[in-house]
Amino acid sequence: MDATFLVGLSCLSAGSAAGKTPSPAALHDEGRRVLFQLDDRVPPAAIQIELSGRPYFADRHADFSISHSRSMVAVSHVSTGGLSCAFHTGCDIQFIYSSRFHKTIASRFFGEQEQRYIAAAADNAEQDTRFCKVWTLKECFLKARGSPGGSVFNIKDVPCFAFDGLLPASGIVHGLAYFLYECADSAAGRYILAVGREVCGAADTRPPCIRWVSDTPAHVSSLFVDRGVTPAPALAKG
């Protein structure tokens, strides 16, 4: 039986007051709600935390990752499908925002090739988008592999992503298959979503099935899915 790869998305913009971002508590609760829409086999009490900081189901029947930003919530979920191979997944969603600190952050945490990719953007808006692409991919890696203490400073230890033009040179990096999306909602704005899963076979490179579990689905466009099973070249740390 094949493992099942799902992504649940929810947009809370319609339920929040005009111009107000949902509270952290509301986003946390929505993340759990989305998770149990995808997997109702276990109660919330069955979720535990690894030493690496990753949450997991106690019986290991599936793996999951939860992320939220502004009004959007994303959950990736991989069931083992009865297979002996261990599956880990990670996801990160990020509101695309403008900041004069992006260049400083990139110089501190990103590799040289990633910095060149951002700097080569045609304008500031595209630089902001590219910054968020790199950031979400790195967060996705940490959430799949584990980040002790959950510190964002561990991003500097994530291997660099090799970029070819506008897209990562390969959909598979360091044993994880990556899928990158842009989500857009007229009220909530634009977001970048990165989803990854461990690769144990050729079937594991298939993109996830995306499910909306809110009443106001945003538009989702794929920026890239699997483009081959060869690890990207230039993967050294920056």
Does residue 234 fall inside a structural domain?
no
Average pLDDT for 77-91 = 76
Residue 203 pLDDT > 70, yes or no?
A: no
Question: Could you tell me the CA-to-CA distances from 110 to 26, 74, 82, 128, 144 in Å, in that order?
Answer: 31, 24, 38, 14, 19
Closest of 84, 82, 80 to residue 5, by C-alpha: 80
Q: Looking at 68-72, 142-146, 228-232, which range is the least confident one?
A: 228-232
CB atoms within 10 A of CB 230: 10
Structural domain includes residue 235: no
In a domain? residue 238: no
Domain assignment present for 194: yes
The C-alpha atoms of residue 49 and residue 181 are separated, in whole angstroms, by: 28
Residue-level pLDDT at 226:
37
pTM: 0.84
Any idea what the CATH number is for the domain that residue 83 is in? 3.90.470.20
pLDDT tier at 1, thresholds 50, 70, 90: very low
The total number of structural domains in the chain stands at 1
Pair type for strands 172-173 and 167-168: unpaired
Is 90 domain-assigned?
A: yes
The residue segments making up the domain with residue 160 are: 5-224
pLDDT tens per residue, range 74-83: 999 998 766 6
The per-residue pLDDT for 90 is: 93
**Mean pLDDT score across all residues of the chain:** 78
Q: How far is CA 218 from the centre of its chain?
A: 17
Residue 236 inside a domain? The answer is: no
Looking at residue 228, its pLDDT comes to: 31
Residue 231 lies in a domain: no
Domain membership of residue 197 (yes or no) is yes
What is the number of other CB atoms lying within 10 angstroms of the CB of residue 150?
A: 13
